[in-house]
Each structure stands twice: as C-alpha cells, then as structure tokens.
Amino acid sequence: MSNTSKTTQRNSDARAYVKTKIGIAQTKSTGDFPGFTEKTPIYKLLTDLIEINAKGFRGIVVTALVGMHLNDNYDPLNDFYKCNPRSIFEEGIWYALKENGIPCGKSDPLNVAKNISQLDENWARGRRPQSAAMAVVKFLQIVRKEDDLKKRLILIDYFFFRLWKYAQQIKVHSLIKVDVTEQSKLEIGNNVIKFTLEYPESGQLPQFLVSILLQSIFKESNVSVVGGEESVFGTNTTSKKPADIWLEEQGTPTNLYEITVKKVSKKRLDD
C-alpha cells in the first residue's frame, strides 16, 4: 500500500472511530456512568474541558484519543505531533464532529498545541482559558495511567458522552421574539433583499430602489440624483446615459452607478 493510500485509510479510520464513539454516546444516559457524579473530579474536569466557548481544547483531546486508538504506543502527552494531528483532524475527525453537530473549528488541535509536542502544566499555563488547558493535561494523564482497559474505555466513553450532551445543550437556545409596533430594521432589510433579488420587471425595481435611497441620502444637499426613473430596457451606450444612475453637482456628473441583476463581465465593464 502506498503512503498516500495509508494516509487516506488512517484518516478514514479516525473518522469512523469518532463517529462510532459519538453513536455510542447517543445511546447513553447519565445513569450509565454512576462513577462520575457531579461531585467527582472527572465530572468537574470534563466540565472545565468541554463546556466552554473555546473549541480547540475539545479537539485536542479527541485527536489524542484517536491517536491512541490508531497506535497503542502513541503518547499524546510527550509527543502529541507523532500522530499527524493536522491530517487526521482536518481529513477525518472534523467530518465526524460536524456530522454530529459537535462544535469545532477546522484546525482545533493545531490552534491550541501551537507546535508544542509536550502537553504538560508548562504548556497549559500559556493557554486561555488555563482551566481548560489544565483539564486537557489531567484528563489525558488519567486515561494514560489507567491500565485496566475496561476502566479506560469507560473514561473515553464518558468523555464522548459529555461531548455529545454539551452539543445538545447548546442547540436548545430559544429565540425571544421582540414585540415592536412597527417593522424592525431586519425585517425591512429582508424585504428589500427579497424583492431586489427576485427583480420583477428585470432590473427596474433595483434601479428605482437605489435611486430612492440615494435621494434620501442627499436630500439635504445640492447633489441631484439622476436616472432612477428612466427605463432599464435600453443600454447606457445606445441611450447616451453616463450610467444607470448618477449624481450631479451644478449639472456636472460626479458619481456613476451601474445597477444590474446580471453577471458583471469584463465586456460589460468595458462597455
């Protein structure tokens, strides 16, 4: 098997592993982990690690766990980059997280690790929030030191359960409808976008709209807005107009505006 094929297979295995772990997490409940109540150190550790806005710390632990799954001899605490974190995260792990609604960035582990291979207390002190970085180190230390494979598996499954649970929590944000007596600026903007993009009568409405907006802007000045109410069905070349709409000061054009709903090509610009 070529190196390229091996890399592709490794990244595919990384994606499959994370997808499987999240799938298992979806079938679990808090009652399946009686050893990790809210008063236990592991619960607090994963709260500091997972339930934060910063995405990278979650990503670095997922990457470390995947690396350990792919290679029994991999030690993320002392040689994090040995697992090729960029490749397995960006081409494997990232897709599994996104498919399951887990908040993450494109290069989470690299953004946090910052080319430092040893993940220890010294590394953690330079990260923000420091509590999350320390949680990364401590959780991986606990997982690495656990020789009982069954207990290690429970630790890993609990991590993915908390990860999945957090993803569900942040989805349940209700939007409060603002009670207003008139149309909000957002609603007006959406209506403007809608009828501009649908452009009935070709470009007539967009041209008329832009003209009205410009007139409103310059109504207290000596600037005149010209061309807004003229037909859009002729070209500026044939009609001898300097533009679709233009501004004039004392009869002299100062600013020219081309209003179009068509693709702007080089030829159109030359015309």
CB 102 within 8 A of CB 163: yes
Partners of 245 in the beta sheet? Answer: 257
154 lies in the same domain as 228? no
**Boundary residue ending a domain (138, 171, 204):** 171
Is residue 8 a part of any domain in this protein?
Answer: yes
125 with 162, same domain: the answer is yes
Question: Is residue 93 assigned to a domain?
Answer: yes
Does 191 lie in the same domain as 120? no
* 179 inside domain: no
How many structural domains does the chain have? 2
Do 231 and 152 share a structural domain?
Answer: no
- Let me know if residue 177 belongs to a domain: no
pLDDT value for 195: 61
- Asked if residue 162 and residue 72 are part of one domain, the reply reads yes
Instruction: Supply the range of the domain harboring residue 14.
Output: 3-171
Residue 53 lies in a domain: yes
This prediction has a pTM of: 0.63
- pLDDT per residue, tens digit, the chain (271 aa), is 677 788 999 999 999 999 999 999 999 999 999 999 999 999 999 999 999 888 789 999 999 999 999 999 999 999 999 999 889 999 999 999 989 888 888 887 777 777 788 899 999 987 888 999 999 999 999 999 999 999 999 999 999 999 999 998 877 654 455 555 566 677 777 776 666 566 554 556 677 778 888 888 887 788 888 887 665 444 445 456 788 888 888 778 888 888 776 666 665 565 5
CA distance 243 to 232: 11
Predicted confidence at residue 181, as pLDDT, reads 57
In sequence order, the 6+-apart residues with CB closer than 8 A to the CB of 189 are none
Residue 203 has what pLDDT? Answer: 57
**C-alpha distances in Å from residue 219, one per residue of 84, 142, 158, 207, 212:** 62, 70, 65, 18, 10
In this prediction, residue 238 carries a pLDDT of 46
Does residue 98 lie within any of the structural domains?
yes
Same structural domain for residues 94 and 117?
A: yes
Same domain as 129, residue 75: yes
Same domain, 123 and 236: no
Residue 269 is predicted with a pLDDT of: 61
> Per the domain annotation, does 197 fall within a domain?
yes
In a domain? residue 86 = yes
